Chain A
Amino acid sequence: NAGVMQNPRHLVRRRGQEARLRCSPMKGHSHVYWYRQLPEEGLKFMVYLQKENIIDESGMPKERFSAEFPKEGPSILRIQQVVRGDSAAYFCASSPNRVPDTQYFGPGTRLTVL
């Protein structure tokens, strides 16, 4: 059973470009979480999705950020018009059930905005 997969592992964008981060949960997992780790800071919750639904987006910045988890395919975290402050490691985690359950983390995508 493959673990949580994220791609790309490293992404470099110039200010104003768009960044698309992908997350494929573990087989059988329908719950996906996105977390962000800013340089020298702790992890922060961004959004929680179940297939085709956003359950909790209370940690998402109001502008430029969006997330989806379609019926088919990976979950996507999209950042439009990136700024230097978006440079961070973005981790995806998945779980088979809602609460409480172990969350399995992907390797992360390290986004650098030039």
Chain B
Amino acid sequence: KNEVEQSPQNLTAQEGEFITINCSYSVGISALHWLQQHPGGGIVSLFMLSSGKKKHGRLIATINIQEKHSSLHITASHPRDSAVYICAVAPGTASKLTFGTGTRLQVTL
């Protein structure tokens, strides 16, 4: 079993839909990261969380430390949101990241 599990693996949505991507992890962590990988391969850091909730534009990330679970929400989705969304955790006190396998999101008109 992977230390970081994401669901769903693939997601297709229509423009305007509310999207949720889930991440569960099995180890103690110092932080959880949400990353976006564009079709061209570049990786952008969206959020780093150690508790609670963060919001940036149409993106919202939440984390429940007790349940070892995080969600990434996209409101009013747009085709430019099409990308792979990756959950990653920093286990224990380590700096290195352990990654989920990613959720491939396709938003259509």
Contacts and interface: CB of A to CB of B under 8 A. Distances in A.
Interface residues of A, number: 27
A45 B97 contact: yes
A95 to B, nearest CB: 8
B48 A102 contact: yes
Contacts of A101: 48, 95
Contact of A105 (B45, B50, B93, B94): B45
A103 B33 contact: yes
Contacts of A41: 101
A43 B42 contact: no
A31 to B, nearest CB: 7
Interface string A78-93: 0000000000010100
Contacts of B99: 35, 42-44
A94 B86 CA distance: 18
Interface string A9-25: 00000000000000000
A100 B30 contact: yes
A100 B30 CA distance: 6
B45 A102 contact: yes
B44 A105 contact: yes
B27 interface: no
Interface of A: 31, 33, 35, 41-45, 48, 55-56, 58-59, 89, 91, 95, 98-105, 107-108, 110
